[in-house]
Amino acid sequence: MIKACKELKRKKNAVILAHYYAPAEAQKLADHVGDSFYLAKMARQSDADIIVFCGVSFMGESAKLLCPDKKVLMPDLGADCAMAHMASEEKISELRRQYDDLAVVCYINSTARLKALSDVCVTSSNAVKIVSALPNKNIFFIPDAHLGAYVKEQLAGKKNIILNDGYCPVHTKISKESVSELKQKHPEARVLAHPECKGEVLELSDFIGSTLDIIKFAKADTGKEYIVCTEVGVEYKLKIDSPDKSFFFPSPCPCCGDMKLNTPENIYKVLDLEINEVEVDGDLAKRAMLPLERMLELGK
Ligand code: 13P
Ligand code: SF4
């Protein structure tokens, strides 16, 4: 299947992008594997005619917004991110009325509709940098409450960050008890966490960063054991980079079912039949693209 996908990809001048949470088989046949920010940049830079995006719908949508002339296909159109919908238009309007200088900062894990209502997008790898670069004092951070709280803490005294109540169902299931239990079993292990985790987990962490930052940290670090507080798909790359290191995941194992819909069979099928195309309505696309473009500019 992997060989057949690679041949088809060449024939159709397609590029396959995969997030680290996609199944290992999808990561194996992808041209680029990365975190949300890296993949958005790769989509933008690509000269392929077709992008097959092995991620969830907000990632495919962002690729389509950044590359309106390309065909963007998703291996399964049902692969969605629950958090991407967790903010309300009413709350945004209410806060815009309340604060003259409000900037709505939208985590890229969001629908195009929410992006269109925002001033700038961020990802977990550039949120602190971008929010601190904004001229606005008052910030409404949507949809993720936990990444928002992390940015708020990093920029304490500099920005007034108003939090929303969205969350990632996978990362919020990671508890401080499960991390402490692993710490007891592996006292030498360093704790690496994604900022979508709850504050109580981040407090126990030695390093906080995006999926790519976690992978880079583990590779460069001199330790031998790590407790990894993010989705289990990162294990594939962690083990490739550091086969002699041990990685432990909290229990229950953090697994994003939607990401796992990106199977090689689905990748082959959509590329072969050119189905599951991502479409974003023209007017919405224009408005949702602006905060994404601003992110790429400020994130440089
Ligand atoms: P990254 O931006 O770190 O890849 O995170 C994406 C994501 O969906 C985390 O749950
Ligand atoms: Fe969304 Fe969480 Fe899955 Fe990431 S891990 S895609 S935030 S549900």
Cα–Cα distance for residue pair 46/48, rounded to 1 Å: 6
C-beta 170 within 6 A of ligand 2: yes
pLDDT bin (cut points 50, 70, 90) of residue 174 is very high
C-beta 109 within 6 A of ligand 2: yes
Alpha helices (H) along 67-104:
89-98
* pLDDT over 90 at 163, yes or no: yes
CB 27 within 8 A of CB 18: yes
- Do strands 50-54 and 14-19 pair parallel, antiparallel, or not at all (unpaired)? parallel
* pLDDT over 90 at 273, yes or no: yes
Cα–Cα distance for residue pair 196/150, rounded to 1 Å: 9
Q: Encoding tokens for residue 243?
A: 């086969």
| 56: nearest Cα among 79, 89, 29 | 79
Judged by DSSP in three states, 218 sits in helix
pLDDT in tens, 191-221: 999 999 999 999 999 999 999 999 999 999 9
Q: Which of 1-10, 46-55, 155-164, 174-183 is the least confident region?
A: 1-10
Q: How far is CA 41 from CA 110, 155, 216, in A?
A: 17, 26, 18
CB 122 within 8 A of CB 203: no
Nearest CA to ligand 2 atom 3: 256
Orientation angle between helical segments 282-298 and 57-66, nearest 10 degrees: 90
Tell me the average pLDDT across 119-135.
Answer: 96
Pocket test for ligand 1, best of 42, 62, 86, 124 (most atoms within 8 A of CB): 124
The residues near 123 (Cβ < 8 Å, ≥ 6 apart) are 35, 36, 37, 40, 107, 108, 210, 295, 299
* pLDDT over 90 at 244, yes or no: yes
Cα–Cα distance for residue pair 237/200, rounded to 1 Å: 26
Angle at 43 between CA 39 and CA 48, to 5 degrees: 140
